[in-house]
Structures are given as structure tokens and as C-alpha cells.
Amino acid sequence: MQGLGVVYVLLLLGICIPGQMMVQRVDRVERVASEKTVISERPKVALTFDDGPSAVYTPKLLNGLKQRGVHATFFLIGKNIEIGENAQIVKREQEEGHLIGNHTYNHVEITKLDEDSAYQELRKTNEIIEGITGESVEFMRPPFGLWKKNLEEKIPAIPVMWTVDPMDWATENVDEIVNKVVTEVEENDIILLHDCYDSSVKAALRIVDLLQAEGYDFVTVDELLLK
């Protein structure tokens, strides 16, 4: 409707604009308006990857996402970042436009810890990530999806759950993972996967190909949560 409004104003202005120029301008406005409409109507979906970084599988995933122009969200385990050269993978995730979140330092069930230990799990991981990216961490995913509400007051991180879980960690069958996701997925879904398995990485890239062909746009979770 905004596009039509602009066209209408231009038509009014057209009284003072030579005919040929007017036609070109209206044409252009209509074209821009229709392009905008197409973009805004594409359904959005977010891929999230827990438990990385993995020196073996995360770079393969990053290559595939880059080829497809897709941004994802990575919830990292603090101690995994400290293995070998994994910090470079975190840097690469940031440089290639992915969103990075916290998945605790030891991958612990946070509700079973006392408040101080739980806080330390998150704080330590935030510090490691921030030391690499230079940016504050805004989002976290509690391991096993279990969260204590009172921690939100202590740590400035927004817990992010998921809406589609193909249980990729429980199978090496790529088709099974892909089929579960593409049959269940709907607009604005958050898909849970893990970038520490070969089958999950292969499935993720097939999911991207299939859903992009269906017209989905892949976004980072902040675009779904903060809209």
C-alpha cells in the first residue's frame, strides 16, 4: 500500500512533469515497490547450532553456509572454544555474519547448579567469546533447554529455545534429519541442530537448499526475536 501511495503522489506531481519522464518514474517506483513486497513476504526461519565449535565439522558448515548466502546462530560451549585453534573458528563465524551465543562453559544442566556456579558458567563463556569477537554476547541457549528464570536478572543474556528439533544427535541418517525438519517447519521457526556431527552438517545444508527453493529466508535468531 505504501508503494501505491508513492505512485499516487507522483501521479499528482505528474501534472508538472513531462509525460515521458513521468512514465519512467512511475515505472521505477512500481518496480521498487514490488521488489520490496517480494522480500518482506518471504517467510523467515532460523538455523541454530549448539555444542560447537568443532575443528572438523564447523568449517565445513561455514563453507556451505557461505556458498548459500545463509547466516545462522551458533551457541558455543566455552571449553570447546579453548581447544586447539577453535578460537579462529569463532572469529570466522563473526566475520561471516553469523550470530554467536553462549551454551555454558561445561555444557551443564544449569538448573542443577547453585546460583553462583550457574552464573560462572555463563560469565566465563561470555568473556571467552567477547575476548575473540570484541562484541558483547546477547543470547544464550541453556543446555537441555532447562533454565532458571532468576538467572536472567544476574546475566544480561536472553535465553533462546527452539521450535523444531529433529534430534540430530541421535541419528547419523541425514535423510531422517532433513525430512523431520522440512515436513515440520513453518514460518518463524527456530531449528535446533549441532555442528559437531558430519550427518548434521550435511543435513543442515540440504535443509537450506530445500527451504530456499520453497522461498524461505534464513535469518539469525535476533531477527525473529527482536522484531
Catalytic residues: 50, 194
Q: How far is the CB of 51 from Ni ion (least distance, A)?
A: 4
The rounded radius of gyration (Å) of the Cα atoms in the chain is: 22
By beta-carbon proximity to Ni ion, the closer residue of 143 and 159 is 143
Interacting residue with Ni ion among 48, 49, 51, 142 (CB under 5 A): 51
Minimum CB distance to Ni ion, residue 112 (Å): 15
Q: How far is the CB of 64 from Ni ion (least distance, A)?
A: 21
Choices 29-37, 39-47, 48-56, 113-121; region in contact with Ni ion by CB under 5 A: 48-56
Of 165, 197, 142, nearest in space to 47 by CA: 165
Considering only residues 83-112, where is the footprint of Ni ion by CB under 5 A? none
Residues 6+ apart with CB under 8 A from 177: 166, 168, 171, 193, 199, 200, 203, 207
Among 45, 47, 48, 50, binds Ni ion (CB under 5 A): 50
Size of the site for Ni ion (CB under 5 A): 3
Indicate the residue whose CB is closest to Ni ion.
50
Question: DSSP secondary structure string, 169-187?
Answer: GG---HHHHHHHHHHH--T
Give the sign of the dihedral formed by CA 98, CA 118, CA 77, CA 141. negative
Residues 122-181 that bind Ni ion (CB under 5 A): 143
Nearer to Ni ion, 180 or 216 (CB): 180
Kind and range of the H or E element at 158? strand 158-159
Nearer to Ni ion, 51 or 138 (CB): 51
Task: Give the whole-angstrom CA distance, residue 56 versus residue 196.
Answer: 8
Q: How far is the CB of 109 from Ni ion (least distance, A)?
A: 10
CA distance 157 to 153: 9
Residue 111, C-alpha cell as written in the block: 538448573
The footprint of Ni ion (CB under 5 A) covers 50-51, 143
